[in-house]
Chains A and B, each alone.
Chain A
Amino acid sequence: MDAKLSTGDTLSAEDQELVDGLLAGKRRPLAKTITLIESTLLAHQQRARKVVASILPHTGRAIRVGISGVPGAGKSTFIEVLGIWLIEHGHKLAILAVDPSSSLSGGSILGDKTRMEMLCQHEEAFIRPSPSAGSLGGVAAKTREAMLACEAAGYDVILVETVGVGQSETTVAGMVDMFTLLQLPNQGDELQAIKKGIVEIADLVAINKVDLNPHHAAVCIAQWKQALHMLRPTSPNWTVPVVGLSALNRIGVDEFWGAIEKFHETMTKTGELEQKRRNQALAWMWSMIEGGLKQFFRNDPRVEAELPKVAQQVSQGQITPGAASEKLLDYVRQKS
């Protein structure tokens, strides 16, 4: 990231302390910073923006990896085993989860810690499950900033786990250097059924639980390789590898990470990584503009007052959606 980037504002004493603690690698200030980033309060968001801006020069040095996979693929077990392996190899890692599901009552149950019991005993690991904040775009922006905070605090590997299915994969792929997909060996036959969009964005496919039926797994890996061969690769300089794993028995972890390091190296050498991160920053800006506009719109007192009535009129067919949106947007237009 650009070190000369500036917001033109200085930090309050409280936030400066937060930033200093975070940059010193302290757990508590990092946790507090992520809370600030996640906050829905406007005042907090403004503070968070300044905090993120001031740590920006210290970011960008980690390998950012997205991990996705169907429920039951053994994602948590794999992340735990991979995490311990990374720590044994001298890394410090942060794990963030993107969970777009929102419950009706508002509360969430965050169970990630229970699923990574061994890993969360390690000093070198930072695991932060974040409560769902409704819209996926909102979650994404916040996870992206939380990722930067972890980097600034000295974590050199960031794993972003998708908890939900479907849309969240593309969101995560849009914020990491490398997007990996964890699959089960028995899904070889059902390749057709897997959403093509997800396979297309994968930079690496890992087949877990290959110990269950080695023969079946070998067939499955071959099928995957063939299927991926027919897709457009994510980069002209990269052939998407298919790695066999048994997370439970700690088999294949070194091969998995080896592929990630190789990808990172290749992409750095060709300049694609830098380009990717630039594009991601641009896309990030746009998603924040969209989010900001939406919030601006929703926060308008007249919109807030009229929206329920207008929405009801639309659903009862009394006015057209087009007319309704014009009417509401006009309130905001008049303002500017």
Chain B
Amino acid sequence: MSNEKLPDSSNLDQWKQAALKSAPKTSTDPAKWLEGVKWVTPEGLEVKPLYTKKDLENLEFSDTLPGFPPYVRGPQATMYSVRPWTIRQYAGFSTAEASNAFYRKVLSTGGQGVSVAFDLATHRGYDSDNPRVVGDVGKAGVAIDSVEDMKILFNEIPLGKISVSMTMNGAVLPILAGYIIAAEEQGVEQKDLNGTIQNDILKEFMVRNTYIYPPSPSMRIVGDIFRYTAKNMPRFNSISISGYHISEAGASQALELAFTLADGIEYVKTGIASGMDVDDFAGRLSFFWATGINFYLEIAKMRAARLLWHRIMTNFGAKKEKSKMLRTHTQTSGWSLTEQDPYNNVIRTTIEALSAVFGGTQSLHTNSFDEAIALPSDTSSRIARNTQVIIQEETHICSVVDPWAGSYLMETLTQQMADKAWSIIEEVQTMGGMVKAIESGWAKMQVESCAAETQALIDSGKKVIVGVNKYRLPKEDLVDILEVDNNAVRISQVARLDKIRATRDSKAVQEALDALTAVAEDPSKGNLLDMTIKAVRLRATVGEVSDALEKVFGRYRATNQTISGVYGAIVETQESWKAIQADIKKFEEAHGRRPRLMVAKLGQDGHDRGSKVVATALADLGFDIDVGPMFQTPEEAARLAIENDVHAIGCSSLAAGHKTLVPQLVEALKKQGSDDIIVVVGGVIPPQDYDAVFAAGAKAVFGPGTRIEDAAKKVLEEINKAFPAK
């Protein structure tokens, strides 16, 4: 070997000369071409094709240690090299019995914690026998009405040892109380309870919509839970501040990061305002990220999050190190999964799981590949779980702490992501904080604007999704899916409710509920969680507790704003777009008005990304769009459609409601003499169900991955058929 010096980061010109050789032959200005070789991320960060040692020169935190401030490299010194992350699969199977059986199976086959998904009725604080939730019971999770259901749910699961995570935000008081009483009756004391309650109400107002009360009483509930758990349940995480749903609703990584940390700031303020020292509760705040398919960005996001939370908590004057450490759960993205060629989702989930692991998560849920089609089956759940088991036990990925540290790219990107998010956080603070940003609708509009842009990029083929807008299969195979008989679940829940109401001391229950209402009226009279526990112990139901609070707090109703122009701006130059616009023009000339469609969200499912994106895109295209309120019954939706004299109702269903709600909607239209109004359905609908949905009277069904333009064309076609020009 000679001693000749090899080119290094001080010889970047040499690299450029070499790179120019890759310029396409047709390029007239190769230097300019090379400048254009870069990736601009959704948040506007520029990622270069090459990073070198030079990029590290001005970075403040490129040489830190795990387990030490500012925790960029992870909250613990040894991370997975000693103890890997907790495999925690979120699941809920309609009934407490089925869910319990599933949890026990998971725990015996490599799962390390339980994560409960509740059904939609429970989320919104309704008992299963409430007439508003006929189509929602047992959908998207387990139906829980009382502590009796809770006891079945955790039967033979030792709550003093197994950590339990509960995704509950709206009906957080009766659910947390039910869990505490179930443990109590197992003989487990509150101080030994170990787990997490999501309890992140702010993001509900912004994206997920499973709130019950208005923002300010909701924040009081959060504060009361902080105080109660800080005193009585020292091992329990009283909140999981969630970016997941913000990301799933369409936010870029920087926006997810910024809004989540800004939510965190509000919660810390709430804790302090309720009279606690920041160090009394800050150590029990946990986070929840999504990892999507943007591999580098997700790792950078999770590293940047720890850096920024350390800064935020230092600014709050936290003294304990634990208060400044961001610990997080992570779930792979559900939105990134496709209905088309669904086995590809196994690969997507694996890559997303890897970014969560490289990002240093404390626990992880990996999605099942069939979740874009239906609720997960046994097989798909096993594959999902094994994705993590294989990473932990076969790959040796766990052997090294934060292996991306020192990467020229990753350290740079981490800092850029942190800076970008920080600028958004500062913008939010100048608005008066996240509560203000949410109340004004600004925050939601930022997310929806990102979502519309992403959809337009996909529909126009500028963003590739394999099997959807590229390499699409000529024919899709059917995948076996899990069926939920929602009606059977409801009947058995109602029977159990009747039994509880017949056997309990109803007078004592009523007194306990009245006492709860009194505390809701006057905070000085006690703690809301404490009072709820007393009522639930006497067998007050989820719905009764929620009603007792609603008497004082009221039920929150969202003001819905919709963006316009974002989608259209990206696709308007396409010929196919212009063709549909011309067809709409033709329709207008023949009918004296534009085609008018009402977008309806039926039932208690609050996921409105799909319906909002469709609304804005169709309006950009030239439809007149009525946006119906959230949480409508089919009868209400039919009446509004009639009143507005729409041509069509576009019904969005993401939580398996299509088989009950669509027939009811068609029936309601018929009953009101208006079945000329056509119904189309979009959302998560398994191909197996298409026939049933058509038989119920729907004129078109649009599964995940449908280009909006194609949907628009089909809807217009059906409207033209139903309303021929005279």
Known: A27-B639, A120-B636. A107 touches B618 (CB 8 A): yes
Q: Mark B552-596, 1 if CB is under 8 A from A, else 0.
A: 000001111110110010000000000001001100100111101
Q: Mark B617-649, 1 if CB is under 8 A from A, else 0.
A: 011111111111110000010011011110000
**A107 / chain B contacts, CB cutoff of 8 Å:** 594, 618-625
Task: Give the distance in Å from the alpha carbon of A39 to the alpha carbon of B559 in the complex.
Answer: 29
**A109 / chain B contacts, CB cutoff of 8 Å:** 562, 564, 615-616, 619, 625, 627
**A128 / chain B contacts, CB cutoff of 8 Å:** 643-644
Q: Is the CB of B591 within 8 A of A39?
A: yes
Task: Give the distance in Å from the alpha carbon of A103 to the alpha carbon of B30 in the complex.
Answer: 42
Task: Give the distance in Å from the alpha carbon of A115 to the alpha carbon of B559 in the complex.
Answer: 5
CB distance from B638 to the nearest CB of A (A): 11
Known: A28-B642, A107-B618, A128-B644. A118 touches B626 (CB 8 A): no
Task: Give the distance in Å from the alpha carbon of A288 to the alpha carbon of B465 in the complex.
Answer: 54
CB distance from A155 to the nearest CB of B (A): 12
A262 at the interface (CB under 8 A from B): no
Known: A31-B645, A120-B640, A129-B644. A106 touches B594 (CB 8 A): yes
**B561 / chain A contacts, CB cutoff of 8 Å:** 111
Q: Is the CB of B673 within 8 A of A28?
A: yes
B674 at the interface (CB under 8 A from A): yes
B14 at the interface (CB under 8 A from A): no
Known: A28-B672, A131-B594. A114 touches B558 (CB 8 A): yes
A127 at the interface (CB under 8 A from B): yes
CB distance from B671 to the nearest CB of A (A): 12
**A105 / chain B contacts, CB cutoff of 8 Å:** 568, 581, 619-622
Q: Pick from B568, B593, B629: contact of A120, CB below 8 A.
A: B629
Scoring B559, B562, B593 by chain A CB atoms within 10 A of each residue's CB, the highest score goes to B593
CB distance from A329 to the nearest CB of B (A): 26
Question: Across the two chains, which residue of chain B brings its CB closest to A35?
Answer: B645
Task: Give the distance in Å from the alpha carbon of A127 to the alpha carbon of B640 in the complex.
Answer: 8
Known: A28-B674, A105-B581, A114-B627. A76 touches B622 (CB 8 A): no
Restricting to B492-550, which residues have a CB under 8 Å from any CB of A?
none
A108 at the interface (CB under 8 A from B): yes
Question: Across the two chains, which residue of chain B brings its CB closest to A80?
Answer: B557
A121 at the interface (CB under 8 A from B): yes
Q: Is the CB of B643 within 8 A of A117?
A: no
A16 at the interface (CB under 8 A from B): no
Q: Is the CB of B628 within 8 A of A114?
A: yes
A24 at the interface (CB under 8 A from B): no
**A229 / chain B contacts, CB cutoff of 8 Å:** none
Known: A40-B592, A120-B629. A126 touches B619 (CB 8 A): no
Task: Give the distance in Å from the alpha carbon of A140 to the alpha carbon of B516 in the complex.
Answer: 52
Question: Across the two chains, which residue of chain A brings its CB closest to B563?
Answer: A109
Q: Is the CB of A106 within 8 A of B622?
A: yes
Question: Across the two chains, which residue of chain B brings its CB closest to A26?
Answer: B673
Known: A35-B593, A131-B593. A110 touches B626 (CB 8 A): yes
Number of residue pairs spanning A and B whose beta carbons lie under 8 angstroms apart: 105
Task: Give the distance in Å from the alpha carbon of A100 to the alpha carbon of B465 in the complex.
Answer: 40
Task: Give the distance in Å from the alpha carbon of A146 to the alpha carbon of B584 in the complex.
Answer: 25
CB distance from B627 to the nearest CB of A (A): 5
Task: Give the distance in Å from the alpha carbon of A128 to the alpha carbon of B643 in the complex.
Answer: 7
Known: A40-B593, A111-B560, A120-B640. A131 touches B627 (CB 8 A): no
Task: Give the distance in Å from the alpha carbon of A126 to the alpha carbon of B568 in the complex.
Answer: 32
A61 at the interface (CB under 8 A from B): no
Question: Across the two chains, which residue of chain A brings its CB closest to B633?
Answer: A121
Q: Is the CB of B626 within 8 A of A129?
A: yes
A38 at the interface (CB under 8 A from B): yes
Question: Across the two chains, which residue of chain A brings its CB closest to B612?
Answer: A109
Q: Is the CB of B592 within 8 A of A39?
A: yes
Scoring A76, A126, A129 by chain B CB atoms within 10 A of each residue's CB, the highest score goes to A129
Task: Give the distance in Å from the alpha carbon of A121 to the alpha carbon of B640 in the complex.
Answer: 9
Task: Give the distance in Å from the alpha carbon of A31 to the alpha carbon of B639 in the complex.
Answer: 11
Task: Give the distance in Å from the alpha carbon of A110 to the alpha carbon of B619 in the complex.
Answer: 10
**B591 / chain A contacts, CB cutoff of 8 Å:** 39, 41
Restricting to B638-665, which residues have a CB under 8 Å from any CB of A?
639-640, 642-645
CB distance from A23 to the nearest CB of B (A): 17
Task: Give the distance in Å from the alpha carbon of A113 to the alpha carbon of B642 in the complex.
Answer: 13
**B616 / chain A contacts, CB cutoff of 8 Å:** 109
A32 at the interface (CB under 8 A from B): yes
Q: Pick from B559, B592, B674: contact of A41, CB below 8 A.
A: B592
**A173 / chain B contacts, CB cutoff of 8 Å:** none
Question: Across the two chains, which residue of chain A brings its CB closest to B641?
Answer: A31
Q: Mark A35-49, 1 if CB is under 8 A from B, else 0.
A: 100111100100000
A34 at the interface (CB under 8 A from B): yes
Q: Is the CB of A40 within 8 A of B674?
A: no
Q: Is the CB of A113 within 8 A of B621?
A: no
Task: Give the distance in Å from the alpha carbon of A56 to the alpha carbon of B299 in the complex.
Answer: 69
Q: Is the CB of A27 within 8 A of B626?
A: no
CB distance from A212 to the nearest CB of B (A): 13
**B568 / chain A contacts, CB cutoff of 8 Å:** 105
CB distance from A6 to the nearest CB of B (A): 25
CB distance from B610 to the nearest CB of A (A): 16
Q: Is the CB of B629 within 8 A of A34?
A: no
Q: Pick from B562, B639, B642, B645: contact of A111, CB below 8 A.
A: B562
Question: Across the two chains, which residue of chain A brings its CB closest to B572?
Answer: A105
Q: Is the CB of B643 within 8 A of A31?
A: yes
Q: Is the CB of A121 within 8 A of B594?
A: no
CB distance from A304 to the nearest CB of B (A): 14
Q: Is the CB of A113 within 8 A of B626?
A: yes
Q: Is the CB of A126 within 8 A of B629?
A: no
Q: Mark A77-108, 1 if CB is under 8 A from B, else 0.
A: 00000000000000000000000000101111
**B618 / chain A contacts, CB cutoff of 8 Å:** 107
**A32 / chain B contacts, CB cutoff of 8 Å:** 645
**B644 / chain A contacts, CB cutoff of 8 Å:** 31, 110, 113, 128-129
Question: Across the two chains, which residue of chain A brings its CB closest to B620?
Answer: A105
**B639 / chain A contacts, CB cutoff of 8 Å:** 27, 120
Task: Give the distance in Å from the alpha carbon of A23 to the alpha carbon of B185 in the complex.
Answer: 64
Q: Pick from B558, B584, B642: contact of A31, CB below 8 A.
A: B642
Q: Is the CB of B624 within 8 A of A108?
A: yes
Q: Pick from A27, A44, A110, A121: contact of B636, CB below 8 A.
A: A121
Q: Pick from B562, B592, B615, B623: contact of A44, CB below 8 A.
A: B592
CB distance from A276 to the nearest CB of B (A): 29
Q: Is the CB of B588 within 8 A of A40?
A: yes
CB distance from A48 to the nearest CB of B (A): 10
Q: Is the CB of A110 within 8 A of B643?
A: no
Restricting to A116-148, which residues have a CB under 8 Å from any CB of B?
117-118, 120-121, 126-129, 131
Task: Give the distance in Å from the alpha carbon of A131 to the alpha carbon of B640 in the complex.
Answer: 15
Task: Give the distance in Å from the alpha carbon of A159 to the alpha carbon of B325 in the complex.
Answer: 55
CB distance from B175 to the nearest CB of A (A): 25
**B626 / chain A contacts, CB cutoff of 8 Å:** 110-111, 113, 129
CB distance from B644 to the nearest CB of A (A): 6
Known: A109-B627, A121-B636, A127-B643. A114 touches B621 (CB 8 A): no
Q: Is the CB of B593 within 8 A of A38?
A: yes
CB distance from A36 to the nearest CB of B (A): 8
Known: A35-B593, A128-B643. A113 touches B620 (CB 8 A): no
**B623 / chain A contacts, CB cutoff of 8 Å:** 107
CB distance from A159 to the nearest CB of B (A): 15
Scoring A32, A106, A109, A128 by chain B CB atoms within 10 A of each residue's CB, the highest score goes to A109
Question: Across the two chains, which residue of chain B brings its CB closest to A21?
Answer: B673
- Nearest first, the 3 closest Cβ-Cβ pairs linking A and B are A39-B592, A41-B592, A114-B560
The contact sample of 21 A-B pairs, CB cut-off 8 A, is: A27-B643, A31-B645, A39-B592, A39-B593, A76-B559, A105-B620, A105-B621, A105-B622, A106-B584, A107-B594, A107-B618, A109-B616, A109-B627, A110-B625, A111-B627, A113-B627, A114-B630, A117-B557, A120-B629, A121-B636, A129-B626
Where the two chains meet, the residues of A that have a C-beta atom closer than 8 Å to any C-beta of B are 27-28, 31-32, 34-35, 38-41, 44, 76, 103, 105-111, 113-115, 117-118, 120-121, 126-129, 131
Apart from the given pairs A105-B621, A107-B594, A128-B643, 4 other A-B contacts in the complex at a CB distance below 8 Å: A110-B626, A111-B627, A114-B559, A131-B624
